[in-house]
Every structure is written in C-alpha cells, then in structure tokens.
Amino acid sequence: MVYDNILGYIEMLHLYPVMHAEERERLLGKVYIKTQETLVLIHDFFDLAKLESGDQNMPMTRILMNERCGTTILAYYDILMELVTSSISRSRIIRFMASVMMRRCTAC
C-alpha cells in the first residue's frame, strides 16, 4: 500500500538523522509524491462512496473515444517504440495495446 511506503521513508528519515542532503531530499521527494497519491486515493474513495449512496448524481456525457484512445496510445509511446524496435512480433504488440485499451476503457 502507498501509506506503507510513506511510513518506510519517514522511518528512514527519523532513524538516520545523519544522512547526506541529496539522499534526504530524494526521500522527502518520494514522501511528497506518495502523499499526493494517497490523497488522490482518499478523494476517489469518498467520490465512489457518494455515488454508491446516491448522494451525488453522475450526468451522462459523451466521450470522444478516438480522442481517449489517442491520448492513451500517446501515454505508452515510449514503450511502443521499444516494442517496435525489438524482436517482439507484431501480433504481441497488438495484443499488448488491446489489453491497455481495455483497461483504460473500463476505467471510464
């Protein structure tokens, strides 16, 4: 879990007060990022609880799937370029992208 990571980083900072400044800054940066991720999870949890309880309506809206797909593919551009230049078969690359798209579309 994310909070386990945060606690681990904080323990390291607490137990090793004499630490190089670069290492301390690196750990503090990770604590900050993991704390932000935790806040997102907490907000998502409460949003879901509101939806399930009926306290909040979710309006139906159109989703431009071509835009959504394009954004998703661009997010994986670096991985795709590595796959294309490697010896992986074209069918495996297509299966990989199909699985990515299915995960992204079920998250909508």
Tokens of 95: 């299966």
Residues 6+ apart with CB under 8 A from 29: none
The one-letter code for the residue type at 22 is E
pTM, rounded to two decimals: 0.47
Asked whether 101 and 75 are in contact (CB, 8 A), the reply is no
Domain coordinates of the chain in residue numbers? 2-53, 65-106
pLDDT tens sequence for the chain (108 residues): 566 778 888 888 888 888 888 988 988 888 888 888 888 889 989 888 888 887 777 778 887 877 777 777 777 777 777 777 777 777 777 777 777 667 665 554
Tokens of 14: 């607490």
3-state SS class at 31: helix
How far apart CA 90 and CA 83 sit, in angstroms, is: 9
